[in-house]
């Protein structure tokens, strides 16, 4: 470990007011080329794989790599400060898919198109949905996808399979217990299960992730897209989300508060995962990245963990409109990097087939299609097909240079309704006014 920083990085850390959560300098073998620095999202298995492979890259290339991690909420402010100060503090950066449009439009990223072409870097091994969400924009390649997350429905298989629970549920609802396919079924199932005794404890119908405003927006969005079939904005970036379908989606979400796990209104991901892992919660919409944690026998549900597609809306003819959100992140090169060639060498290495294949075997949410062709991946992770299908069904969050402000405006409106502070129609109308005040640039 080595926390020695170049002068410009020391200035940036002082401005940001926080130290990295983790820092690593690989130092095996002589470095004969300029070193590079990298900033990544802390606490991820995909990040651990990067760290563990840095010594191999160092040995192969002679390029020293300084690796820093920060909590998610600290990454973008740190990067923006670097961009605005025009200092090359990080050569390789982690970019969430919702930041790509802003970073590319404002000139914060190196355009990788010519590098991909000249090196014949094979983008065809990445799904078109993942590339569209996390890599390409305006026919140019800005980023190389490194992890791809998507929302799914986790559930406790033991609760759904228990004969006593099934009998009590039938008595309560006059219908057989099954994993819900639609949002209406989700509500009925959560309400019908709530309070039934399971292994000496009352069942809690569902756990939700609704901490304001970011998480409230994330888990409202999947309902909105399902109910409306629309994006949040039309082609000219006129807001659509305050129309009747948006109001219905928000009223639906708020109607479930009597069967939420305690604390759902203030829950981030960790709180929801812990609630489901307790064994008394029946279901929880969540990001698939939580699978590895929930699958653990200790601290998770182990073999009791079930994974299903996110519920949707029955639109007739046997079709269900499901709309999970895609997430994840990619690796890019800072436009102000002084070592772009070395940074590109590292990105190619760390997103290569062999490293990603090993990640898929370990249950990580990697982005190369070829890695999932290995039958051992499905043996180790039986839910991988649900994950892959969910990616293909997924929707993009609004693309704008002002995404963060848009998300906050809508998320605050959602949170006000969930907290009983406003009606859905009033809160979403206020959110529209705030978004128009922001005057976002459309993608």
User: pLDDT (tens digit, 0 to 9) for every residue of the chain, 443 residues total?
Assistant: 333 333 344 333 333 434 343 444 444 444 467 899 999 988 888 999 999 999 999 999 999 999 999 988 899 999 999 999 887 789 999 999 999 999 999 999 999 999 999 999 999 999 999 999 999 999 999 999 999 999 999 999 999 999 999 999 999 999 999 999 999 999 999 999 999 999 999 999 999 999 999 999 999 999 999 999 999 999 889 999 999 999 999 999 999 999 999 999 999 999 999 999 999 999 999 999 999 899 999 989 999 999 999 999 999 999 999 999 999 899 999 999 999 999 999 999 999 999 999 999 998 999 999 999 999 998 988 999 999 999 999 999 999 999 999 999 999 999 999 999 999 999 999 999 999 998 655 54
Determine the pLDDT at residue 20.
Answer: 43
Residue 421 counted as domain residue: no
Residue 2 counted as domain residue: no
What ranges in 235-374 are assigned the alpha helix state H? 244-255, 269-277, 291-294, 340-350, 353-361
Q: Kindly state whether residues 58 and 15 are assigned to the same domain.
A: yes
Number of structural domains in the chain: 2
Q: Kindly state whether residues 308 and 161 are assigned to the same domain.
A: yes
**Residue 100: which CATH number?**
3.40.190.10
Note down the domain range covering 314. 150-322
Residue 172 counted as domain residue: yes
3-class secondary structure, 194: coil
Q: Kindly state whether residues 155 and 277 are assigned to the same domain.
A: yes
**Residues whose CB is less than 8 angstroms from the CB of residue 269 and which lie 6 or more positions away in sequence, other chains included:** 209, 215, 286, 287, 290
Using CA atoms, how far apart are residues 33 and 57, in angstroms rounded to an integer? 12
Q: Model's pTM, two decimal places?
A: 0.88
Q: Kindly state whether residues 41 and 127 are assigned to the same domain.
A: yes
Give, in order, the Cα–Cα distances in Å from 431 to each of 129, 213, 373: 29, 12, 44
Look at residues 346, 372, 392 and tell me which one is the last residue of a structural domain: 392
3-class secondary structure, 442: strand
Q: Kindly state whether residues 245 and 353 are assigned to the same domain.
A: no
Using CA atoms, how far apart are residues 55 and 63, in angstroms rounded to an integer? 10
Determine the pLDDT at residue 88.
Answer: 78
Residue 437 counted as domain residue: no
Nearest to 154 by CA among 207, 112, 90: 207
Q: Kindly state whether residues 200 and 138 are assigned to the same domain.
A: no
CA-angle at 366, arms to 29 and 52, nearest 5° = 20
Determine the pLDDT at residue 130.
Answer: 95
Residue 294 counted as domain residue: yes
Q: Kindly state whether residues 53 and 94 are assigned to the same domain.
A: yes
Q: Kindly state whether residues 177 and 121 are assigned to the same domain.
A: no
Residue 337 counted as domain residue: yes
Determine the pLDDT at residue 441.
Answer: 52
CA-angle at 306, arms to 182 and 249, nearest 5° = 25
Q: Kindly state whether residues 294 and 316 are assigned to the same domain.
A: yes
Residue with tokens 């489901």: 276
Q: Kindly state whether residues 15 and 137 are assigned to the same domain.
A: yes
Residue 411 counted as domain residue: no
Look at residues 322, 338, 367 and tell me which one is the last residue of a structural domain: 322
Q: Kindly state whether residues 138 and 170 are assigned to the same domain.
A: no
- Cβ(351)–Cβ(331) below 8 Å: yes
292-297 own/partner pairs: CB under 8 Å, 24+ apart:
292/45, 292/363, 292/364, 294/154, 295/363
Residue 429 counted as domain residue: no
Tell me the sheet residues that pair with 92.
38, 333
Q: Kindly state whether residues 172 and 244 are assigned to the same domain.
A: yes
- Cβ(109)–Cβ(333) below 8 Å: yes
Look at residues 268, 292, 322 and tell me which one is the last residue of a structural domain: 322
């Amino acid at each position: 470990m080595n926390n020695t920083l170049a002068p410009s990085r020391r200035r940036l850390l002082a401005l940001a007011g926080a130290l990295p959560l983790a820092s690593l300098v690989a130092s095996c073998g002589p470095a004969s080329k300029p070193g590079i620095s990298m900033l990544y999202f802390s606490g991820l298995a995909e990040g651990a794989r990067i760290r563990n492979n840095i010594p191999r890259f160092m040995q192969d290339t002679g390029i020293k790599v300084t690796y820093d991690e920060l909590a998610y909420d600290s990454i973008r402010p740190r990067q923006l400060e670097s961009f605005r100060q025009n200092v090359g503090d990080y050569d390789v950066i982690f970019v969430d898919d919702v930041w790509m449009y802003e970073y590319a439009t404002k000139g914060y990223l190196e355009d990788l198109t010519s590098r991909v072409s000249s090196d014949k870097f094979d983008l065809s091994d990445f799904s078109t949905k993942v590339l569209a969400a996390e890599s390409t924009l305006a026919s140019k390649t800005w980023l190389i996808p490194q992890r791809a997350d998507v929302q799914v429905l986790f559930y406790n298989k033991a609760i759904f399979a228990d004969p006593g629970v099934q009998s009590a549920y039938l008595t309560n609802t006059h219908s057989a217990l099954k994993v819900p396919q639609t949002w209406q079924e989700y509500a009925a199932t959560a309400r019908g299960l709530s309070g039934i005794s399971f292994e000496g404890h009352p069942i809690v119908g569902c756990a939700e992730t609704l901490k304001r405003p970011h998480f409230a927006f994330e888990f409202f969005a999947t309902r909105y897209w399902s109910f409306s079939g629309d994006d949040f904005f039309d082609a000219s970036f006129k807001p659509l989300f305050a129309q009747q379908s948006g109001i219905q989606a928000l009223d639906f979400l708020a109607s479930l508060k009597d069967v939420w796990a305690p604390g759902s209104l203030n829950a981030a991901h960790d709180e929801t995962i812990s609630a489901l892992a307790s064994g008394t919660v029946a279901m929880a919409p969540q990001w698939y990245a939580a699978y590895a944690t929930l699958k653990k026998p200790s601290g998770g549900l182990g073999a009791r963990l079930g994974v299903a597609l996110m519920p949707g809306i029955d639109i007739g003819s046997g079709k269900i409109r499901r709309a999970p959100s895609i997430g994840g992140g990619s690796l890019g090169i800072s436009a102000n990097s002084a070592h772009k060639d070395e940074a590109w060498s590292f990105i190619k290495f760390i997103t290569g087939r062999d490293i990603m294949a090993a990640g898929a075997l370990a249950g990580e949410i990697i982005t190369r299609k070829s890695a999932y062709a290995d039958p051992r991946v499905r043996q180790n992770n039986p839910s991988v097909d649900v994950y892959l299908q969910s990616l293909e069904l997924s929707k993009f969050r609004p693309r704008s240079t002002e995404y963060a402000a848009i998300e906050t405006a809508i998320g605050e409106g959602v949170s006000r309704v969930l907290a009983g502070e406003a009606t859905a129609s009033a809160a979403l109308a206020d959110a529209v006014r705030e978004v128009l005040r922001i005057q976002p640039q459309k993608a």
